[in-house]
Structure 1
């Protein structure tokens, strides 16, 4: 038999309105009353009908996470963490992939899911702050990643310049003298790559290390296959390096394969640092040294901000940095 609000109210000894307030998470309910109603809900197994709950609360019980590429290990790991956060607050998660496309990113902001979700966590790759402000709809929004955010929008990110400096310092301090960067974008619209190159250059300048544009190894695409091809091309062109900072872990994995193909030994001949600390970075041979963003803090902070917005906060946009670690493994051992 279907359990109704009336059944819960009768068991808890309260009015139907009070049960409705508890189900809607209305703030002004006495804790003792809330506990009594929740106990009745649990005992009877009451589950509010999703359509009825939406009509009563104006909420769908769903949030969306829009990301560039769900097949990328880093974003898959982020999606799992966002899902865990959503589950903890009894929300269901809708995943939307943009493939880093301008039209798809605009569609996400314009409210393609308008009416289906109560809030949106979004990692754009091509839209700038002005476009985000222009195209955003009314759905509560929190941004992840390195794209600059408008002052009205909440934003969570890692300090990519500081992290790239740490990776480059590590290679220099381990005795490397010619450090290359793998993953330079040939266009100016890849903000993340640009920030990481800035951090890499800053570290070289601070320590007076060798600098040359030939050590900026470009990639027209990202991923292990593209990285392998880019490193092979650089080596065949005579680019000489004994350390390599890679755009991400997949690039590091592809780079290590290219180095092995060319007879270079990691770490004896070339030290390699990746980025993201995806699970498979621990299982390469040798295991990959990498920048580890605090992904748990990233998703936890984003969901906290989103809940504030969904609860009606109209405060100015908040911009928060989460931490990172350099995880040293065999690919940079002295």
Structure 2
């Protein structure tokens, strides 16, 4: 294979001939070396665009030891939050000149181990990973050789970079907002049977802390139970509470899907939103913005999560070998019609 030939058949030499420069100059532009003038970069880029030159990734790897690819490993690609976060990470990757390979682990511990264990195959230059089941000590023991940044609440080894929001503080902020609107019987939807995620526990903790700080007693009946994470599970959970005579005037939901389930269950029961019951979702996904009524939601700064994760990963890929850095990014409460 000729190192200067792209997958489309256009050679590096062809670009150099058209631009009237050396192959070395074209290579410097392709690999984004900083010591190239803007005028020269524009001249070479115009030739690249005119010929449709695409660098040969295999040749690039042989020449630089880099693939130009990043792995993004998330539990579920069709979950609203992860779909939107993935888009932001993809945009950050493009800004840094990388492409993204998406892996779906489906909360399977063996799949999560493989995300770290199998990275020595040299397919990607770095990994951004949101684990659900694999724990902190196991990640530390596996000691991935490929640069790694973790997202979420599940695992936080001290030697690994990690980015998250403060879920407990965010839940407190949400409950405080509801209390400020005069709500006093605030339900939590929901704890889930067999839940392995740390996020639910942190959000429940923040919910409880806010109620106690406000002098509102805790009522175990207001912590609703669900058999699963699905929409129908959420509808059944809130409908069962209503049928059992549990009185509440607001609901803090663990995610926007459960908030949509709350809206449906309240509609079935003839409860008005927000007049009778206020509903606050979590994640501020598209479903919140386009629901009827429009859903208030706890909003993690997904752009900031993506930017922070990629900045840390880029440092690692450029050779940083220090201790793990742990960053907390901002959140806000977006109020819409349901509160």
The reply to whether TM is greater than 0.5 is: yes
Name the residue aligned to 2:259: 252
Change (3 A) 1:3 1:247: same
Tell me which residue corresponds to 1:141.
148
| Aligned match of 2:181 | 174
Contact 1:294 1:324 in 2 (8 A): yes
Structure 1, 199-208 or 129-138: larger mean CA deviation: 129-138
Q: Residue 37 of structure 1: CA displacement? A: 4.5
Distance (whole Å) between structure 2 residues aligned to residue 137 and residue 47 of structure 1: 31
Match of 1:211 in 2: 218
2:94 maps to which of 75, 78, 87: 87
How far is 1:186 from its partner? 4.3
Secondary structure of 2:298's aligned partner = strand
| 2:71–2:100 Cα contact (<8 Å) kept | yes
1:292 to 291, 294, 299: 299
In 2, Cα distance between equivalents of 1:35 and 1:330: 50
1:192 maps to which residue? 199
My pick for the range that moved more, 289-298 or 24-33, is: 24-33
Q: What residue is the counterpart of 2:159 in the other structure?
A: 152
SS in 2 for 1:100: coil
Unaligned 5+ runs, structure 2: 1-7
CA contact (8 A) 1:188 1:194 kept: no
In structure 1, what is the Cα distance between the partners aligned to 2:24 and 2:100?
29
Is the alpha carbon distance of 1:313 and 1:112 closer, same or farther for their aligned partners in structure 2, counting shifts above 3 Å? Answer: closer
- Which stretch of the first structure deviates more once superposed, 247-256 or 229-238? 229-238
Residue 221 of structure 1 and its aligned partner are, at CA, apart by 1.8
RMSD across aligned positions (CA):
2.2
**What are structure 1's unaligned runs of at least 5 residues?**
none
- Return the offset for 1:251: 0.3
SS at 2:338 equivalent: helix
The Cα shift of 1:298 comes to 0.9
**1:222-301 maps to which residues of 2 (within 5 A)?**
222-301=229-308
How many angstroms does 1:287 deviate by?
1.5
Say whether residues 1:106 and 2:145 are aligned partners.
no
- 1:191-215 per-residue CA deviation (whole Å, 9 max, x = no partner) reads 0001001110110011001311221
Secondary structure at the aligned position of 2:162 is classed as: strand
In the alignment, what sits opposite 1:65?
Answer: 72
Residue of structure 2 aligned with 1:120, choices 122, 127, 131: 127
Distance in 2 (CA, whole Å) between partners of 1:100 and 1:42 is 42
- Asked if the contact 2:192–2:229 (Cα under 8 Å) also holds between the matched residues in 1, the reply is no
- Give the 3-state SS of the residue equivalent to 2:118 in structure 1: coil
